[in-house]
Amino acid sequence: MRELPWPAKVYFVALIGTAGFLLARSVTMPKWYDQVEWSRLIVLALLFLVCESVPTLLNVPQAAVSVSYSAALAAVVLVGPLGAALVGLMAVVSVRPGLPVVKRLFNGAQFVICGYAAGWAFTLAGGTVGLPEITDFPGIIVPYGAATAAFVAINFMLTAIILLLVAGVGRNQVSLRGIVQFLGSIVGYATFGLLIAGLWATVQSISTVLVLLPLFVARWALGHYHAEQRSYDATIAALCQAVETKDYYTRGHCTRVSAASSMIAEEIGMGTERLRAIRYAGMLHDVGKLGVPTKVLQKDGDLTEEEFAAIQLHPMRGLEIVRGIDFLDEAFAGIMHHHERHDGKGYPMGLAGSEIPEFARIIAVADAFDSMTSDRAYRKAKPVDVAVAELRKNAGTQFDPVMVGTFIKALSRDGWNPPEAVPAPPDDAVETTAKDHDDPTTPIQVVSER
């Protein structure tokens, strides 16, 4: 609480005050006690507690929405505004170890307010509180929809305000796609609430168990999904690094290119799916390099045309290796064309300008940048600003100027951690190369064999 900025504190106190006032007003009404169906309330409150204790993972971690929506909305129908508010109040005692009291109070207060709002919206739109009859369907959908809308809108607003006051969530963190997914999940969870309310007339509290079972199975699967996803990311990184161990100086190149590529992609506002794809494409862009004979990379001096052709083949080799993976097609295009140049003088196909796939244009910038800011056998790492100047110089000839501009913007905001200086290899136990095909400052020289 102490570290909160003062507007947040004011907001926080006002919120709790409002919630307290609303509850007090209901409780001081005559005979309020008899207006509440206590057995329903207790079951729904328990359900809320269970749901609140296992929040679903969402993109923005601070604004995690949990299934508890369903319980609160079912309470709107079955018990009324006060019931929904009391159910929401359970957020204060949710079983989440380590959740600070401040957050508990905030959650409780905002759920109380949302509960009241949803309850009023329900009655205003013509709904009657109590067990829904068969004849209420499908007409009940209108007031129930109004209740859901009120609940979600106010919940979203209250949470967004506190997030803005406390941290200021960046524009990029909440994408349009994310909002669509968010709304979709809300409609889903709202329907759970309707199911609970609708089934109550038939099987009372058993309805909650039946509704919860599929939900928990879904959560089980989602949990496994996230674990597999993390494990997958770690594995792909480790395998790419294994490919690089052969060359002493390029270690870590793949992960850094992946990071820089996703910086650019995020800056131009790519969706989650494509962001993930470009991360993998950046990671895998050089796997084909293993097919280039070591003696070519280690050769001092100019290469013959034949030797240069071996280097030019590596994007195709890479593509050949990863083609069996179920990535977005764009990721493959990115790997295949990451050495094309904006002026059409690149390889393997000599594409130019907008013919080059977007992913490839991004990876090309990230690739060259990391190459310049890392140590090489034949030179020390360049400072970031020198590398940036070099990117600027080559924008329009080698690189897509838009991507260079975007990258520089992202760099100046987020900064960049260049790799640590690589100590000179201890002896000749490791391999060093005399060439880096990614380095725009020392292009590979080719002699004609005629």
Partner 1 sequence: MATARAAHGLDSGQLLLICAAGMLTVAGISHTAAVGLADSQVAIGFGVLIAAGELARLTMPGNREVAPVSTAAALGYALLLDVGGRPADHSALQVVAVMSVGMIAGGLPHLAVGRPPRLDAMARRLLAGSLLAFAYRPLAGPLRRVALEGDWWPALGVMAVLSAVMLTADVVIAAMLRAEQVRTAFRVAVRDEIRMGGPLGAAVAASGMLLVLASHSMDMTALPAFAAPLLVTQVAFRKYAGIRATYLQTVRALSRVTEVGGYVEPGHSRRVSQLALAIGRELGMSEPQLLELEYAALMHDIGQLSLRDPIPGGATVLTDPAQARRIAELGAEVIRKTGVLHGVAEIVERQCDPVGDSPPAASRIIKAANAYDDLVGGSTDRDRAAAALERLRLDGGAEYDPAVVEAMARVVDRLVLVTRL
Q: Which residues bind partner 1 (CB under 8 A)?
A: 132, 134, 137-138, 141, 185, 187-189, 191-192, 194-195, 198-199, 201-203, 206-207, 210-211, 213-215, 217-222, 224-225, 228-232, 234-243, 245-246, 287-288, 290-291, 294, 317, 320-327, 429-431
Give the phi and the psi of residue 395 in degrees, each rounded to 5: -65, 130
CA distance 450 to 447: 9
Name the residue nearer to partner 1 (CB basis): 114 or 292: 292
Which candidate, 341, 366, 336, 367, places its Cα nearest to that of 352? 341
Name the residue nearer to partner 1 (CB basis): 189 or 399: 189
Q: Round the CA-based radius of gyration of the chain to a whole number and report it.
A: 29
Closest approach, Cβ 188 to partner 1, in A, equals 5
Name the residue nearer to partner 1 (CB basis): 317 or 393: 317
CA distance 216 to 280: 31
Bond prior to 348 in cis (omega within 30° of 0):
yes
Closest approach, Cβ 438 to partner 1, in A, equals 18
Residue type at position 146: A
Count of other CB atoms within 10 angstroms of residue 377: 17
Instruction: Please list, in sequence order, all residues whose beta carbon lies within 8 angstroms of the beta carbon of residue 298, skipping any fewer than 6 positions away.
Output: 431, 432, 433, 434, 435
Name the residue nearer to partner 1 (CB basis): 108 or 318: 318
Instruction: Please list, in sequence order, all residues whose beta carbon lies within 8 angstroms of the beta carbon of residue 179, skipping any fewer than 6 positions away.
Output: none
Bond prior to 214 in cis (omega within 30° of 0):
no
Residue 78 buriedness (CB in 10 A; 0-12 / 13-18 / 19+): buried
Between strands 303-304 and 446-447, the pairing is: parallel
Closest approach, Cβ 200 to partner 1, in A, equals 8
Name the residue nearer to partner 1 (CB basis): 273 or 414: 273
Name the residue nearer to partner 1 (CB basis): 95 or 203: 203
Closest approach, Cβ 292 to partner 1, in A, equals 9
Closest approach, Cβ 198 to partner 1, in A, equals 4
Both tokens of 430, joined, read: 């490791």
Name the residue nearer to partner 1 (CB basis): 245 or 397: 245
Closest approach, Cβ 275 to partner 1, in A, equals 15
CA 343 to centroid of chain Cα atoms: 35
Closest approach, Cβ 186 to partner 1, in A, equals 11
Name the residue nearer to partner 1 (CB basis): 317 or 392: 317
Closest approach, Cβ 102 to partner 1, in A, equals 31
In order of 268, 277, 391, 448, the CA distances from 355 in angstroms are 18, 20, 20, 29
Name the residue nearer to partner 1 (CB basis): 24 or 218: 218
Closest approach, Cβ 192 to partner 1, in A, equals 6
CA distance 138 to 136: 6
Closest approach, Cβ 37 to partner 1, in A, equals 17
Closest approach, Cβ 291 to partner 1, in A, equals 4
CA angle 186, 187, 190 (to 5 degrees): 85
Name the residue nearer to partner 1 (CB basis): 23 or 141: 141
Name the residue nearer to partner 1 (CB basis): 18 or 185: 185
Residue 68 buriedness (CB in 10 A; 0-12 / 13-18 / 19+): buried
Which candidate, 106, 194, 212, places its Cα nearest to that of 147? 194
Q: Is the dihedral of CA 114, 118, 124, 130 positive or negative?
A: negative
Both tokens of 246, joined, read: 């052969």
